[in-house]
């Protein structure tokens, strides 16, 4: 009602205060009068709505602020414009210019005018309202497209492949894009990081917070933090960065595909379900959502997934979906359905759950929130020899694991021990020589820069092999310090004395191995050297 009255006021030139003050001036008889705003609860509205024709202001006796304003500005007659029982506008008239009272003919004329003007005013109001609504819809749609683009760009395009495991994800965005996200990250140690989360709010703000959260969590995954540590760090980084009314729920897990060990921590996210030998259990770990308050700690739990076990991770879009009776899908229903569908494997769980949801919600259902479903299933070893082969292929074996005091010169000892450890691999000499140089340089850096030549601080060296790679991890206690990026030394500048002759260490390491990763947390700093065992990147004719 107020909107319509305002619209009418605008149509009659409302908003120009100069005009308003001159409305009833005899010198400017054709000026439009000031718009009279009438509050929705003003008794004048009910009176005018039922008046049935011209109303004489002087004769009204109502406790109405609008009526008072009309009197003040000199309104004598009011002609209500009523369309289908609703007051859509008023024609306000001041005293006649002839200074005589309005006659019965005048009133009849005004009533006729009102009868003809009302439909036109109503149509004009509806057209205007539609224009405003169309503009708003377009704006919202554009915003949704931006949000959808941000979200779809950042969600993984491919699922990681892990022998012996089946991973499936379905992300079904709501029209008003929510803040769901999921991510995977394969760590250099062969573990897989899985994350599922949900940002409060919708649209662009949620998408932007989702993008930030994803980056922060990826950073934690790269640092190879445990799930609890990852959420602590993410919370500390996100808390000052996101708006006060927003937060993020997140389930973060590290999976060791060889042993089946799944470590997880939960920042207020819906509890995953574990299906194990016909029983379904919630995986409980407590923790507050990310970004709500600083200094949070996150409980860390772990389970071992055996062949045939599976885990469902999901967002609240599924359990909080409502049907036409406003009944919620709910956790008990989900629990029961997981139980029903996971008998003999969960490969069709996602499709089955979405089909159940469609049945529950009905054909006219409009999805209220994003729905994310992720299943992780350890395959049953139907063919033991095949399963064993797969296991062998993906297995990572430790060849050596030792520590040395941080004394200059021990880099040679590290080199000797690593070379002895990899002897059984029968690597070509060129590869052994590169490994020697890389191990020696990385150990020297660990002793000199990481542990600052403090003999009591050990340099830890871990040598692992899989069927595809040889990995040497060299860890010192220099975490938390900045790590210099390897740069190409400028030999001309060194020879001309413009640059120190030193500074070859990282350059050499990087060129001696196929991959070099630097991982650091608050306490440790690890350089990981990887030599591919198939398709030698440094192959030379002598190999």
Partner 1 sequence: MPTQAIETRMRHAPSLPEIPIIDLPSEINAQAEEALNAAFAGASRDKPKAILLDFGSVEYINSTGIALIVSLLAQARQEGIRMLACSLTDHYVEVFRLTRLADFLRIFPDEVSALAAIPALE
Binding site for partner 1 (CB under 8 A): 407-413, 430, 433-434, 436-437, 440-441, 444, 489, 491, 494-497, 500-505, 507-508, 511, 540, 542
* 448 secondary structure, DSSP code: I
Rounded CA-CA distance 346/25 in Å is: 82
How far apart are alpha carbons 504 and 497 in whole angstroms?
16
Q: Which pair of tokens denotes residue 133? A: 């609504």
Which SS3 state, helix, strand or coil, does residue 439 take? helix
In sequence order, what are the beta bridge partners of 517?
A: 528
In 3D space, the residue among 301, 274, 297 whose CA is nearest the CA of residue 285 turns out to be: 301
C-beta closer to partner 1: residue 338 or 506: 506
Smaller CB separation from partner 1, 494 or 524: 494
Residue 538 beta carbon to partner 1: minimum distance, rounded to whole angstroms? 9
Q: How far is the CB of 443 from partner 1 (least distance, A)?
A: 10
Q: CB-wise, 156 or 428, nearer to partner 1?
A: 428
- Alpha-carbon distance 478 to 519, whole Å? 11
Cα angle: 534, vertex 536, 539; to 5 degrees: 150
Our CB check for partner 1 shows the closer of 5 and 414 to be 414
Q: Considering the complex, what minimum distance in angstroms separates the CB of residue 430 from partner 1?
A: 7
| Rounded distance between C-alpha atoms, residue 475 and residue 526, angstroms | 4
Q: Which of 378, 516, 326, 489 is nearest to 435 (CA)?
A: 516
Give whichever of 244 and 496 is closer to partner 1, judged by the CB atom.
496
Distance between CA 247 and CA 251 in Å, rounded?
A: 14
The DSSP-derived string for 304-352 is: EPPTT-EEEEE-HHHHT-B-TT--B--HHHHHHHHHHHTTT--TTHHHH
Query: In the bound complex, what is the minimum distance in angstroms from residue 451's beta carbon to partner 1?
Result: 15
The residue assigned the tokens 């036109």 is 120
CA–CA distance, 479 with 481 (Å, rounded to integer):
6
- Quote the tokens at residue 263: 């470590």
> Which tokens belong to 18?
């100069």
CA–CA dist 88, 80 (Å, integer): 8
Q: How far is the CB of 465 from partner 1 (least distance, A)?
A: 22
Nearer to partner 1, 103 or 433 (CB): 433
Task: Give the shortest CB-141-to-partner 1 separation in angstroms.
Answer: 56
Element (H, E) at 134: helix 104-154
246: helix, strand or coil: coil
Nearest approach in angstroms of CB 331 to partner 1 is: 59
CB of 412 to partner 1, least distance (A): 7
Tokens in use for 163? 């022998």
Q: Which is nearer to partner 1, 64 or 440 (CB)?
A: 440
- In whole angstroms, the minimum distance from the beta carbon of 411 to partner 1 comes to 7
Structure tokens, 274: 């574990």
- In the bound state with partner 1, the residue whose beta carbon lies nearer, of 397 and 452, is 452
Closer by beta carbon to partner 1, 140 or else 504: 504
Taking the mean position of all CA atoms in its chain, how far away is CA 262? 23
87 CB-contact burial (10 Å; exposed 0-12 / middle 13-18 / buried 19+): buried
Q: Which is nearer to partner 1, 119 or 484 (CB)?
A: 484
When the beta carbons of 385 and 500 are compared against partner 1, the nearer one is 500
Considering the complex, what minimum distance in angstroms separates the CB of residue 475 from partner 1? 20
Q: Shortest distance, CB of residue 491 to partner 1, whole angstroms?
A: 5
């Amino acid at each position: 009602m107020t909107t319509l009255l305002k619209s009418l006021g605008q149509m009659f030139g409302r908003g120009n205060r100069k005009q308003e003050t001159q409305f009833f001036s005899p010198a400017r008889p054709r000026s439009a009068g000031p718009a009279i705003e009438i509050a929705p609860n003003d008794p004048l509205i009910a009176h005018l709505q039922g008046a049935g024709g011209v109303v004489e202001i002087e004769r009204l006796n109502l406790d109405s602020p609008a009526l008072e304003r009309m009197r003040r500005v000199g309104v004598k007659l009011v002609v209500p414009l009523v369309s289908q029982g609703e007051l859509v506008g008023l024609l306000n008239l001041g005293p006649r210019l002839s200074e005589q009272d309005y006659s019965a003919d005048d009133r009849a004329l005004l009533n006729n005018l009102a009868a003809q003007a009302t439909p036109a005013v109503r149509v004009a109001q509806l057209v205007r309202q539609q224009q405003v609504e169309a503009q708003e819809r377009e704006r919202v749609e554009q915003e949704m497209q931006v949000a959808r683009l941000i979200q779809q760009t950042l969600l993984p395009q491919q699922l990681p492949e892990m022998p012996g495991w089946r991973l499936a994800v379905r992300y079904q965005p709501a029209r008003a894009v929510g803040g769901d996200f999921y991510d995977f990250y394969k760590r250099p140690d062969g573990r897989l990081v899985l994350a599922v989360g949900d940002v409060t709010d919708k649209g662009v703000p949620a998408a932007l917070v989702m993008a930030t959260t994803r980056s922060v969590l990826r950073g934690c995954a790269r640092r190879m933090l445990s799930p609890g540590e990852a959420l602590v760090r993410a919370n500390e980084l996100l808390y000052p960065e996101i708006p006060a009314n927003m937060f993020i729920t997140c389930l973060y897990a590290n999976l060791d595909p060889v042993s089946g060990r799944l470590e997880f921590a939960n920042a207020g996210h819906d509890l995953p379900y574990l299906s194990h030998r016909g029983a379904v259990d919630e995986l409980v770990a407590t923790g507050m959502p990310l970004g709500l308050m600083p200094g949070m700690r996150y409980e860390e739990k772990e389970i071992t997934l055996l062949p045939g076990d599976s885990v469902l991770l999901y967002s609240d879009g599924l359990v909080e979906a409502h049907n036409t009776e406003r009944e919620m899908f709910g956790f008990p229903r989900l629990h029961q359905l997981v139980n029903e569908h996971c008998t003999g494997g969960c490969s069709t769980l996602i499709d089955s759950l979405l089909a159940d949801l469609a049945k529950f919600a009905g054909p006219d259902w409009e999805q209220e929130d994003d729905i994310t479903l992720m299943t992780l299933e350890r395959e049953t070893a139907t063919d033991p020899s095949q399963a064993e082969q797969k296991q062998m292929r993906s297995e990572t074996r430790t060849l050596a694991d030792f520590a040395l005091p941080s004394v200059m010169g021990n880099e040679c000892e590290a080199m000797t021990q690593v070379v002895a450890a990899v002897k059984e691999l029968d690597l070509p000499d060129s590869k052994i020589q590169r490994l020697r140089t890389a191990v020696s340089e990385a150990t020297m850096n660990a002793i000199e820069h990481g542990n600052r030549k403090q003999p009591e601080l050990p340099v830890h060296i871990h040598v692992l092999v899989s069927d595809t790679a040889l990995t040497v991890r060299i860890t010192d206690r220099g975490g938390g310090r900045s790590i210099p990026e390897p740069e190409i030394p400028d030999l001309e500048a060194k020879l001309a004395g413009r640059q120190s002759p030193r500074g070859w260490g990282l350059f050499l390491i990087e060129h001696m191995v196929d991959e070099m990763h630097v991982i650091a947390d608050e306490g440790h700093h690890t350089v990981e050297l990887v030599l591919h065992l198939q398709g030698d990147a440094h192959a030379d004719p002598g190999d």
